[in-house]
Structure 1
């Protein structure tokens, strides 16, 4: 699979439930601003990845570990003309919480205080998880994964602040997100959405971006891709998944899915099916 061009493998190892794995080389590919339901733990092997966060751009090089908490919007692209190769783990929030409870004294919801750290030893462990999983060594993959996450939590972890909806704008944003979730296939316009919530379009736009880090239309695209992932996990063909989540056709799903996930829907589904 590895070569001088772009390549990627996004898959699940059945012996490690609750974990997705991505190993890839990207040059021209760029990830748009999006967020994940679970955590992102990435280790660059060669090149530089520029990760754009709300506070600025971080430069991920070999020896660093990128740690992104659930639902934190970010984008990414190559930081050098040669691109970057990396290994990334996507553990569920539940899986990280279990490891935190078992190995740390963190209280509340465990997460990470920083988005990038210099931690060469743990960066190598992340790559070792991929290697063991690809070799079918379940004992090694599970052990190294838990050691890596525990080490990151003990060195760089903290309790995430509880999300509370206090202001009228935050309440409107939460209501808007709920309505968009319920009307995934036929979402209202921004003006219609604002009218239903008794606010103005620009007030709703500002509140939504402040609360979720994305404008409503970008959040909706990400949510559709998440829903498509779940359908593909269950064996639904990409063309059917596209219509089910509100894309007009499979090419629209292909474009948005590939940009956000890093592989095509077909490649994603084949890895789930083991074919």
Structure 2
């Protein structure tokens, strides 16, 4: 396989709230619709692609910056036969919410989502490219990386406009039962769930749940469950867990099933993700107990 077509993953244990991914020739890459627990921001550095986020569809080229709030169902796939390349960062939403508080956007603990899903601001694309170069550089120490990350994400708020959020969300508002269903799936993604389990947690009928959940989140409840399991696997692999253990801990029937599904969602095998995770940083620590279930969407 062309080495330029193999994704590179970066993570530094000194910056546990930040992860990066890059690919230099993604013509053969195909992503299914998926979502992340993190805030994601990426720079297209070559080629063209179709970027779908929720009900929006964008044609993006080199220089564009794409953005996904936590829980946004999205996919980005190349167009044509020219090398498609990008640099993507995944940012812990609680850490980024802290940056928002520091710049005076709000006083609460939750991330305030952003309105834009694409930006063509030169300052944003240049800053993201510089951040990736610093984080993956061989000579930058953890302080330099952390300083660069804080500077970029602080400055990002001069370009992007967060959405206005209500101060509180009543449990009886129209979307609350569907959020309860999504939260229940996220909290219990490691277990075998039934439709009755989810309906009981959300207080909804099966037929309404399936129809309304897909309209709200862009996925069926089962697809959402599988996506949460993949996100859980990523956390386990990042911490150094063996692939077979990660598959079982995340609730997959076997390792083969997890590997097939992982590649559909991440466009990389679990082995590629795990082995290249620390390519530009210290080796992973000895694995400890599995992490808690990934946070559910807000």
Q: TM-score range by the shorter chain?
A: 0.7 to 0.9
SS at match of 2:20: strand
Structure 1 gap ranges (5+): none
Aligned-partner SS, 2:33? strand
Across the aligned residues of Structure 1 and Structure 2, the Cα RMSD in angstroms comes to 2.8
More strand by share: 1
Moved more, 246-255 or 107-116: 107-116
How many residues are treated as equivalent by the alignment?
Answer: 272
Distance in 2 separating the partners of 1:262 and 1:250: 17
Alignment gaps of 5+ in structure 2: 285-298
Task: Measure the CA separation in 2 of the matches of 1:187 and 1:178.
Answer: 10
Counterpart position of 1:121: 123
Distance 2:212 2:191 in 1: 23
Out of 152, 157, 163, the residue aligned to residue 153 of structure 1 is 157
Partner Cα separation in structure 2 for residue 13 and residue 116 of structure 1: 27
Counterpart of 2:99 in structure 1 is 99
TM-score (norm 1): 0.86
**Residues 196 and 15 from structure 1, CA distance in 2 versus in 1: closer, same or farther, beyond 3 angstroms?**
closer
Paired position in structure 2 for 1:219: 224
Aligned to 1:237: 242
Query: Which residue of the partner structure matches residue 49 of structure 2?
Result: 49
SS of residue matched to 1:31: coil
Match of 2:293 in 1: none
Partner SS for 2:251: coil
The CA deviation string for residues 87-136 of structure 1, in whole angstroms up to 9 with x for no partner, is: 1111111221222222x331254332111011223212212222222223
Evaluate the alpha carbon distance shift between residue 240 and residue 112 of structure 1 in structure 2; reply closer, same or farther with a 3 A threshold: same
- Conservation of the 8 A alpha-carbon contact between 1:62 and 1:120: no
Query: What is the correspondence of 1:191-206 to structure 2 with a 5 Å cutoff?
Result: 193-194=198-199, 199-206=204-211
Superposition map of 1:129-168 within 5 A: 129-136=131-138, 137-138=140-141, 139-159=143-163, 161-162=165-166, 164=169, 165-167=171-173
Contact 1:173 1:204 in 2 (8 A): no
Question: C-alpha separation between the residues in 2 aligned to 1:59 and 1:177?
Answer: 32
Q: What is the rounded CA distance, in whole Å, between the counterparts of 1:63 and 1:84 in structure 2?
A: 12
Q: Which residue pairs with 1:59 in the alignment?
A: 59
Indicate yes or no: 2:271 matched with 1:266: yes
2:46 is equivalent to residue 29 of structure 1: no
How far is 1:65 from its partner?
Answer: 1.2
Contact 2:189 2:250 in 1 (8 A): no
TM-score, reference length from structure 2: 0.80
Preserved contact between residue 248 and residue 254 of structure 2 (Cα < 8 Å): yes
Larger RCO (alpha carbons 8 Å, 6+ apart) = 2
Q: For 1:225 and 1:134, how far apart are their aligned partners in 2?
A: 25
Shift of 1:263: 2.3
The 1-side partners of 2:39 and 2:197 are apart by 34
Q: CA separation in 2, counterparts of 1:169 and 1:96?
A: 25
User: Is the 8 Å Cα contact of residues 12 and 272 (structure 1) preserved in structure 2?
Assistant: yes
Q: Residue 181 of structure 2 contacts residue 199 of structure 2 at CA under 8 Å; is this kept in 1? A: no
Mapped partners of 1:180, 1:37: distance in 2: 10
Aligned-pair distance for 1:249? 1.6
Aligned to 2:81: 81
Q: Residue 192 of structure 1: CA displacement?
A: 6.8
Conserved in 2, the CA contact under 8 Å of 1:132 and 1:141?
yes
Structure with the larger helix share: 1
